Structure 1
Amino acid sequence: MTAETVKRTAFKYLVLLMLPMSIALVFGDKPCEAAENSRTFSFYFENDLFADTDQGYTNGVKLSWISHDLTGYAESGRLPEWSLPLIRRLPFINETGLQRNVVLSIGQNMYTPEDIEAEDLLEDDRPYSGWTYFGIGLHSKNERRLDSMEIQLGMVGPASFAEQTQKLVHELVGSQRPNGWDNQIKNEPGLAVIYERKWRFLYDRDIGKLGFDVIPHIGGALGNVYTYANAGMEARLGWNIPWDFGTSLIRPSGDPNAPLNAQDPRVSSDQGFGLYVFAAADGCAVLHNIFLNGNTFTDSHSVDKKNFVADIGAGVGLIIHRFKLCYTHVLRTKEFEGQEDDQVFGSITLSFTY
């Protein structure tokens, strides 16, 4: 992309980023409730535009909503009655004495080969593919630990509408039209069941002071979209670091952005500002990835995936009253045999607590 195209693209994405903030301001005229009664809405946007490329994991968008703290999931009123007996039998997330949240999300990810101008099948590069999904997450937490279980349901293939999304955006910003979507993987319903545990260690901070914390995690996913085990950690340093479970990319495991208690600057009556830097890493042992392995039940284009992939990121977070804005610059190691370079992309998260 030319410098002018990058500028136009950045401007349009900035407008897109400001949209949820504008919506939040409409509902933001009342003081924020206490942490246990607050709800959090988050908008995620990821794109390789920030690395001046247009390939691999090229775009991701996600909206999520976290309920207020519940003593039981039946209180949410958003889960069907038939699901409650099953939820009560789930391990990890139904321990007594913990607070619970329901998390609802919707998102779309898209993946393309390096040469999007070519119309023919590029056998040595990854398939065109998209994933549009709805997620239901269940959180169980205290100030030291968060257990997350999420179920994602959606579609891969043409029914994900990733082709239409990318072509529309490229037309709007005047960049190269992607011509190879006729070679994308075929339609397939997608299901993923995800579990992840996060801890908070070494947290040493008070409102109005510098602080530091470390948030390790371990988890995994099972399904026809992806099956993997992962582990990693995040470290944060700054002024009025939020009392939550860190900064999340668009990946399975729910959303950790909700404030834990009244010491979070988003709900504190004394402070409404925070600024911090962070670094994070996640390693993933991959058994199956439909966006590389191709369709599960029919033949489609595929490549030989690598069995271990790592994300390494660093960024900055800003809190202004009820808003939390984070930018993460991410390096993802090669995902398949023959991939020439590691992938680099940027991730923006805007959260609003109300």
Structure 2
Amino acid sequence: MRHTAVLLSALLFASGAHAAGREACTNGHTRLPPTVNLRLDNDLFGGQDQGYSNGIQLTLVSPNLADYTDDPCIPRLARWVNRHLDALQPEGFEQRNMIATFAQGIFTPTDYTRRDLIEDDRPYAAALLVGLGYNARNDDYLQTTQLQFGLVGPSALGKQVQNEVHKMLGDETFRGWDHQLHDEPVFRIVHERMHRYSAGDAHNGRWGWDAISHYGGSFGNLATYANAGAELRFGLRLPDDFGSTPLRPAGENTAPTQHYNTGNRRFGAHLFVTFDARWVLRDITLDGNTFRDSHSVDKRPLVADVGYGLAAMRGRWKFALARYHRTREFEGQRQTPVFGSFTVSRAF
């Protein structure tokens, strides 16, 4: 019942975010608009078609909030759900906001031509997720907690989405989807903490740099791991957020902002390099179904990502293009995964 409420709350959060933008929700004397982020991941950007094959995520970010249960800048149902999720909500912070996410991820083996079960390669899998998250900030410190529910299996529509995309691109479709993981409800709780270091007031100056460290983890039958890493940025008018990498919970311009100005149309751009290492206890896309027999592989416990890219901002818009290299995730994996990601963000 609670995961149904989270889903409905996230759906109403979407309409409420736009309404909040029209009503120009305020916190103190600063106009703080909601933000919408759309992220697209695909391994074709890395010259491959295997592993983490495709992903899409829509993130809806509230304005800065006075609190999570009474602020009119979030929909009424979201406020009701928040009263039942108070254990996830941070206290004692100067700034806070709320996010809702809708995501799908698709995972495939290397050989698309085979119809039989490829025992030494990763399982076919798709995940469809919805979630709510809570961000809280004090100056250059941010923490985020996200709760996600969804499905892994045929009901996540990975086969249908991938086939349609491949047909539109004129590519061959994968033929082994009959061996994908079975339907299974999944959940996870993600928590991460970040510190931002910069040389002076980098977001107001012209050229500057900053570094953002992070550590945290995830718990659930979808994924259980501990992670840590950092991001280094250099460029013109750095944004007042906690990273440009789109693969991590607070890396998509979701942080409560201190200096956002909707009337500022100056151009800004920066380069970024990011690193994240994970100690993985469970990954359902590699370990297989939790309660039923299914295809699985012997995953490696230590996995790392190295990414680099370019981000650009103009007025209410932000764009980020990145390329990621990942270490091998399971024993016998033929190629090290390489994939790209494109994120577009707009404040309303």
TM-score by length of 1: 0.86
Q: Partners in 2 of 1:272 and 1:32 — Cα distance?
A: 23
> Residue 201 in 1 paired to residue 172 in 2?
no
Q: Partners in 2 of 1:223 and 1:30 — Cα distance?
A: 38
Change (3 A) 1:81 1:312: same
1:114 to 110, 117, 123: 110
The residue aligned with 1:230 is 227
2:32 to 13, 34, 37: 37
The residue aligned with 1:338 is 332
> Residue 150 in 1 paired to residue 146 in 2?
yes
The residue aligned with 1:84 is 83
How far off is 1:173 after superposition? Answer: 1.2
Change (3 A) 1:86 1:153: closer
Q: Partners in 2 of 1:151 and 1:279 — Cα distance?
A: 27
How far off is 1:163 after superposition? Answer: 0.7
Preserved contact between residue 150 and residue 254 of structure 1 (Cα < 8 Å) = no
Change (3 A) 1:316 1:30: farther
The residue aligned with 1:318 is 312
Q: Percent identity?
A: 39
> Residue 49 in 1 paired to residue 44 in 2?
yes
Preserved contact between residue 138 and residue 148 of structure 1 (Cα < 8 Å) = yes
**Secondary structure of 1:168's aligned partner:** helix
Q: Partners in 1 of 2:23 and 2:221 — Cα distance?
A: 44
The residue aligned with 2:276 is 282
**Secondary structure of 1:81's aligned partner:** helix
**Secondary structure of 2:39's aligned partner:** strand
Preserved contact between residue 66 and residue 255 of structure 1 (Cα < 8 Å) = no
How far off is 1:248 after superposition? Answer: 3.2
Deviation digits for residues 117-140 of structure 1 (CA, Å, limit 9, x no counterpart) = 111110000000000000101111
Change (3 A) 1:247 1:288: same
1:292 to 286, 301, 304: 286
Q: Partners in 2 of 1:153 and 1:85 — Cα distance?
A: 16
Length, aligned pairs only: 324
Preserved contact between residue 147 and residue 187 of structure 2 (Cα < 8 Å) = yes
The code of the aligned residue for 1:346 comes to: G
> Residue 351 in 1 paired to residue 345 in 2?
yes
Task: Give unmatched runs, 5+ long, in structure 2.
Answer: 1-19
How far off is 1:253 after superposition? Answer: 5.7
Q: Partners in 1 of 2:174 and 2:30 — Cα distance?
A: 45
The residue aligned with 1:135 is 131
Preserved contact between residue 248 and residue 256 of structure 1 (Cα < 8 Å) = no
Q: Partners in 2 of 1:94 and 1:29 — Cα distance?
A: 28
Preserved contact between residue 150 and residue 253 of structure 1 (Cα < 8 Å) = no
Spell out structure 1 runs of 4+ moving beyond 4 A.
27-36, 251-255, 268-271
| Alignment of structure 1 residues 18-37 onto 2, 5 Å | 37=32
Q: Partners in 1 of 2:116 and 2:235 — Cα distance?
A: 50
> Residue 59 in 1 paired to residue 62 in 2?
no
Q: Partners in 1 of 2:84 and 2:21 — Cα distance?
A: 36
The code of the aligned residue for 1:341 comes to: Q
Change (3 A) 1:202 1:297: same
Change (3 A) 1:82 1:273: closer
> Residue 71 in 1 paired to residue 70 in 2?
no
Deviation digits for residues 190-240 of structure 1 (CA, Å, limit 9, x no counterpart) = 100110111111243253510111110001010001000000010100000
2:258 to 249, 254, 261: 261
Change (3 A) 1:82 1:167: closer
| Alignment of structure 1 residues 90-109 onto 2, 5 Å | 90=88, 93-109=89-105
How far off is 1:161 after superposition? Answer: 0.4
**Secondary structure of 1:73's aligned partner:** coil
How far off is 1:30 after superposition? Answer: 11
> Residue 192 in 1 paired to residue 160 in 2?
no
**Secondary structure of 2:286's aligned partner:** helix
Preserved contact between residue 39 and residue 353 of structure 1 (Cα < 8 Å) = yes
Preserved contact between residue 264 and residue 315 of structure 2 (Cα < 8 Å) = no
The residue aligned with 2:4 is none
Deviation digits for residues 135-162 of structure 1 (CA, Å, limit 9, x no counterpart) = 1011111221111000110000101001
Preserved contact between residue 257 and residue 351 of structure 1 (Cα < 8 Å) = no
Superposed CA RMSD in Å reads 2.5
Preserved contact between residue 51 and residue 109 of structure 2 (Cα < 8 Å) = yes
1:243 to 237, 240, 244: 240
Q: Partners in 2 of 1:108 and 1:36 — Cα distance?
A: 32
**Secondary structure of 2:78's aligned partner:** coil
Q: Partners in 2 of 1:211 and 1:230 — Cα distance?
A: 27
**Secondary structure of 1:166's aligned partner:** helix
Change (3 A) 1:119 1:236: same
TM-score by length of 2: 0.87
The code of the aligned residue for 2:34 comes to: R
Change (3 A) 1:321 1:73: same
Return 31-40 or 214-223, whichever deviates more.
31-40
How far off is 1:86 after superposition? Answer: 3.8
Task: Give unmatched runs, 5+ long, in structure 1.
Answer: 1-26
